[in-house]
Amino acid sequence: MRIIWLICLALTINVGVGQTTYVGVKAGGHVSSAFIEHTVFNLNLNTTFLPGVNSGVFVKYLPKPGSAFLNSGVQFGVNYVQKGWKQTFLTDEPSYTARMNYLEIPLEGFGYFGGNNKYFISAGLYLEVLMSVDKDTEPNSTNTGGADFYTYDEDRDRDIGYGARLGGGMFRDISIGTFQLEGFFSYSFSNFIDPGDLTTETPDLSNHWIVGFSVGYMISFGGNKNE
C-alpha cells in the first residue's frame, strides 16, 4: 500500500505546476454490499445488494499534454458515500438492511487521452470516516433458519477505514464548462467489524464494496484545455 501512496505523491508533485486545474462537483448512484466472513469458522450469512447515492467535490490537475498518446494527472476530493448491505433469510423473516454513511477522502492518479472529449482511467486510495448508521430491527433469532447474523455495533466496531478505488469514463469541454461521466468500483481493505481475536466467531473479514456511476460538472483555471 505504501507503494501506491508513493505513486500518488509522485503524480501530485509532477502536476503541481500543471497547465489546467479543474474544480468540480459530482453526484450519482450505485449498488453496495459487504463481504462478511470468518477465516476459521464457516458462517451461514447471505448478503445482497443495497442501492445508494454518492456525491462530492473534487479537484483535477492536468499537466501540459506531451507528445505521448496517453497523458497523466491527479485528482483528490471529498465524497459522501452510502455503503451497506442487505441480509436475506430462507424463512419468512424480513430482510435486514444496514446502511452506513461515510465521508471519503480519495487521492487518485489517472491517465487520459483526447481533445474536447477526454477519456480516462483512474486508480487510487481513499480514507473513510463513518458519519452515521441506519439499521433495521434485528431479526428474530428463532426464525432465521439457522442463519448467522452479525451487524455493525457502534460500541465494538471501527468508524475509520481505508480502501482502493478504480474508475473510468470521459469528460468533455464545452463553452459553459466541463461535464464528466464516470463509472467506478471501490473496495475497503479495512474491516468495519472488530472481531477482537480469531477465537470468537465474530467475523474477522468485513469489507464494503461498491459498483456505481457519477455525473460531474467542472470549471477550469489556466491553460489551454484543448492542447
pLDDT truncated to tens, each residue of the chain (227 aa)? 554 444 444 444 444 444 789 999 999 999 999 999 999 999 999 999 999 999 999 999 998 776 677 899 999 999 999 999 999 999 999 999 999 999 999 999 999 998 889 999 999 999 999 999 999 999 999 999 999 999 999 999 999 999 999 999 999 999 999 999 999 999 999 999 999 887 888 999 999 999 999 999 999 987 655 54
Cα 225–chain centre separation: 28
The answer to whether 85 and 125 have CB atoms below 8 angstroms apart is no
The answer to whether 169 and 122 have CB atoms below 8 angstroms apart is no
Helix (H, G, I), strand (E, B) or coil at 40: coil
The answer to whether 20 and 222 have CB atoms below 8 angstroms apart is yes
The whole-model pTM stands at: 0.86
Identity of the amino acid at 14: N
Assign domain 2-221 to its CATH architecture.
Beta Barrel (2.40)
